[in-house]
Amino acid sequence: MNGPPQRVFVFSLGRPRPGSERGQRRHYVKWRVDGRDRTRAFKTRAEADRYRSGLLLAVQDGQQFDPGTGQPVTWVEHGGAPNWWTWSREWLALKWPQWSGHTRRSAVETLTLLAPQLVPTGAPAPPEDLGDWLRKTGYRPGAPTESPPAAWLARWSLPLTDIDPATIERALQAICVKADGTPTVPSVARRRRGTLGAVLRAAVRRELQVL
């Protein structure tokens, strides 16, 4: 997008106002886009923290923010729901410091296989270099993500609220086979199912409304 770069700043999480009744307490997320302050209130700290984390990740990714809503453009396109691409990167970044090199590589490989599967039916084919880009750059915490593969994922990755059991089953069938169509060994299939399950369970805990 042409024009000067946007200036986006995300503030620390705001606490409920002193003296407010328990049922009326709200946790506040405040951020600033090109000098204009934005605020959203949430009933729980978990909801507020999740929203703020999403804003921070969008800033890190260099996403454009919509001047009307103040939200990342990809959120507006998906009705405000985080998509699989955004959440899976956030989840991986949270886990990364805890893991060994082998565990990191395993998780990246599974998420790389899942990314082109968790898109709407009829989505255009992904860029040819999507897999290599995800392994080397896209799923590396802190790495820049401005590229055609990132743009394709931002546009076509399913909102978490659209991931239903049938979608999960199709994705598992796709990632638990080899390139020749034969099943992977049971240990690999279990590991890949476990990674998908862990990402979705973490989303449920953060009240992202994934089935």
Could you state, in order of their start, the residue ranges of all structural domains in the chain? 8-20+27-77, 84-205
Residue 81 scores a pLDDT above 70: no
Distance CA 95, CA 173 (A): 25
Residue 1 scores a pLDDT above 50: no
Q: What is the pLDDT of residue 192?
A: 93
Of 126 and 25, the one with more pLDDT:
126
Mean per-residue pLDDT of the chain:
84
Residue 209 scores a pLDDT above 70: no
Q: What is the pLDDT of residue 210?
A: 47
Of 67 and 125, the one with more pLDDT:
125
Mean pLDDT of 24-48: 85
Residue 206 scores a pLDDT above 80: no
Confidence class of residue 77 from pLDDT cuts 50, 70 and 90? low
Q: What is the pLDDT of residue 56?
A: 86
